[in-house]
Amino acid sequence: MPSVVFRRGLDLKDAVAADLAAAYHSRIVDEIRESGFTRVTGRLTIHLAREFGFCYGVDRAVDYAYQTRKRFPDKRVFLTGEIIHNPHVNDRLRAQQIRFLSDAAERDTVLGPDDVVILPAFGVSVGELARLSREGCTLVDTTCGSVLNVWKNVRRYAQDGFTSIIHGKADHEETRATASQATDFPSGHFLIVRDEAEADLVCQFIRHGGDGGPLLAHFGGSLSPHFDPARHLARVGCANQTTMLMSESLRIGEMFREAMRDRYGEAELAARFRAFDTICSATQERQDAVIGLLGEHALGLMVVIGGYNSSNTCNLARICAERVPTFHIADPACLVSDLEIRHRPIGAPSTAAVSEVVTRQWLPAGPVGLGLTAGASTPNNIVGQVIERLSAWGTPG
């Protein structure tokens, strides 16, 4: 029996609106927005980026999850994995008895037609979607529209015989799902590059050819099956995980353009190279906003809020750290005191297992301009709690 698939909500938006507002709204965030994104408390001036926190895709995914639980109160409801990379949001969904198939306790779960499965904002692989459909589960698809746009381009590359060069993290749910779109076609192939250094390895092979063995050994699981560098790097199309650093994705695209031009000449370029801007608009807006914040105000430090395995949050922290001391925190509890902070080291691998470090004397004495932003999976209530805690330290007791 074919699966029933909900892709446009479950007609219960109004029914869950109050629950969502109670869980994620923040009065103090509304106030700081209305005050020009600045809050002065004693010696501390907090400057909030003009774009931060939940994006449309994340907001929609969480909304659909709440609607699902409301629509199917007596059924088992599962998520294939984290709906977004924010532990606070995921724990709230667990509290509503939404079970995560990625949790160790659920690894042996057998699904069937009576079960409901929510697909996260990152999407799922072609193979996983086919498996869930075969099992007849009711599916609620919250895949972000920006991710679907990348998939459309990758599928077009594969249909036309181009290998997809994906700028992303090979272990990220979105990147794995995107790569599976390429191999859904017999002639489709992909190669995932993490950064400019890895892109350069591939570009050097494109320019000079030679033994493809070292390239295969280096990339391992970041390649499609039966990848032949000599054949499959002759025509390439660039794409990316939507939450990567925009400037880096653009540079990587240009690196591949130049490599193909060097190897095959300008006349062959259109037949051998393609690229589309597939950075999520919300990701770009948040990156642009934090760059604007850094340029507009004299800041002593930045605090960036979001899950440690959130790619877009990690990239916001990278941008900030190039200009001022920056602390990436997961939640308000990381602000231990005005003398001590727990945070993620900038540049550490963005995995759930990354270790926090503790910095003491993190908040300078005297008047301080502090910049604040949050990743696209961070709800306003968490941002508000951080502002409240910081404000208490700005005013002497």
- The helix or strand, by DSSP H or E, that contains position 117, with its residue range, turns out to be strand 116-119
Distance separating alpha carbons of residues 344 and 321, to the nearest angstrom:
12
360 pLDDT band, cuts 50/70/90, is: very high
Residues whose CB is less than 8 angstroms from the CB of residue 229 and which lie 6 or more positions away in sequence, other chains included: 205, 212, 215, 216
Of the candidate CATH numbers 1.10.10.60, 3.10.450.30, 3.40.50.11270, 3.90.1150.10, the domain formed by 5-11+57-143 belongs to 3.40.50.11270
> What is the average per-residue pLDDT within 157-182?
97
Over the chain, what is the mean pLDDT?
Answer: 95
- Residues 78-94 have a mean pLDDT of 95
Could you confirm whether 106 is annotated as catalytic? no
Hey, what long-range contacts does 168-172 have (CB within 8 A, 24 or more apart)? 168/192, 168/194, 168/240, 168/241, 168/244, 169/194, 169/241, 169/311, 169/350, 170/194, 170/221, 170/222, 171/351, 172/122, 172/241, 172/311
**Among 173, 174, 268, 322, the one annotated catalytic:** 174
* 3 state SS of 90: helix
Beta-bridged to residue 360, according to DSSP, are 340
- Judged against a pLDDT cut of 70, whether residue 63 lies above it is answered with yes
pLDDT at 211: 96
Instruction: Number of helices (H) and strands (E) in the chain: give both, helices first.
Output: 15, 16
Question: Which pTM value belongs to this model?
Answer: 0.92
At the topology level of CATH, where does 35-55+282-394 sit? Cobalt-precorrin-4 Transmethylase; domain 1 (3.40.1010)
pLDDT in tens, 115-155: 999 999 999 999 999 999 999 999 999 999 999 999 999 99
- Boundaries of every domain in the chain: 5-11+57-143, 35-55+282-394, 146-275
Q: Which of 69-73, 111-115, 275-279 has the lowest mean pLDDT?
A: 275-279
* Other C-beta atoms lying within 10 Å of the C-beta of residue 31: 12
pLDDT at position 350 over 80 = no
One-letter amino acid for residue 11 of the chain: D
CATH architecture of the domain formed by 146-275: 3-Layer(aba) Sandwich (3.40)
For residue 327, is pLDDT > 80?
yes
Separation of alpha carbons 300 and 363, rounded Å = 9
CA angle, 122 then 128 then 132, to 5°: 110
The answer to whether 180 and 151 are in contact (CB under 8 A) is: no
